[in-house]
Amino acid sequence: MTPDLTLPNNSTTTLDGNTRIIEGGTQVGNNLFHSFQDFSILTGTSVHFKNGLDVQNIITRITGGSVSNIDGLISANGTANLFLINPSGIVFGPNARLDIGGSFLATTADAIEFPNGSFSATNPQAPLLTIDIPIGLRFNGNSGSITVEGAGQGLIAPSSLFSPTIPNNNSLHLSVNEKQTLALLADKITLEGANLASQSGNIELGSINSGFINLIPASNGWSFNYEGVSHFDDINISKQSLINASGNPGGLVQAHGANIDLQDGSI
Q: What is the pLDDT of residues 124-162, one digit of tens each?
A: 876 667 788 899 999 998 899 999 999 887 777 666 666
Other CB atoms within a 10 A radius of the CB of residue 9 amount to 11
Give the CA count within 13 Å in the CB-facing half-sphere of 1: 31
The pLDDT value given to residue 127:
64
Distance between CA atoms of residues 85 and 226, nearest Å: 18
How far is 148 from 13, CA to CA, in rounded Å? 26
Residue 121: which of 48, 42, 66 has the closest Cα? 66
Peptide bond into 8 cis (omega under 30): no
Asked if 203 and 267 touch (Cβ cutoff 8 Å), the reply is no
pLDDT tens-digit readout, 74-91: 999 999 999 999 999 999
Per-residue pLDDT, 162:
67
The predicted pLDDT at position 265 comes to 85
- Given this model, what pLDDT does residue 170 score? 65
Note whether 147 and 170 are within 8 A (CB). no
pLDDT single digits (tens) 87-97: 999 999 999 99
Q: What is the pLDDT of residues 164-180, one digit of tens each?
A: 667 776 666 899 999 99
pLDDT value of position 172: 63
Tally of CB atoms within 10 A around 164: 7
Its sign, for the CA torsion 217, 195, 174, 167, is positive
Report d(CA 120, CA 62) in Å as an integer. 10
pLDDT of residue 204: 97
Among 95, 98, 73, 104, CA closest to 193: 95
pLDDT, position 81? 96
The Cα–Cα gap between 175 and 196 comes to 6
CA 82, chain centre distance (Å): 8
Residue 198 has pLDDT above 70, yes or no: yes
Q: Phi and psi (nearest 5°) for 86?
A: -140, 105
State the Cα–Cα distance between residues 36 and 3, nearest whole angstrom: 4
Q: How many CB atoms lie within 10 A of CB 252?
A: 15
pTM, entire model: 0.92
> Distance of CA 121 to CAs 37, 42, 54, 63, 200, Å?
10, 23, 25, 5, 32
Look at residue 239 in the predicted model and tell me its pLDDT: 92
Residue partners of 169: CB distance under 8 A and separation at least 6: none
**Mean per-residue pLDDT over the chain, rounded:** 91
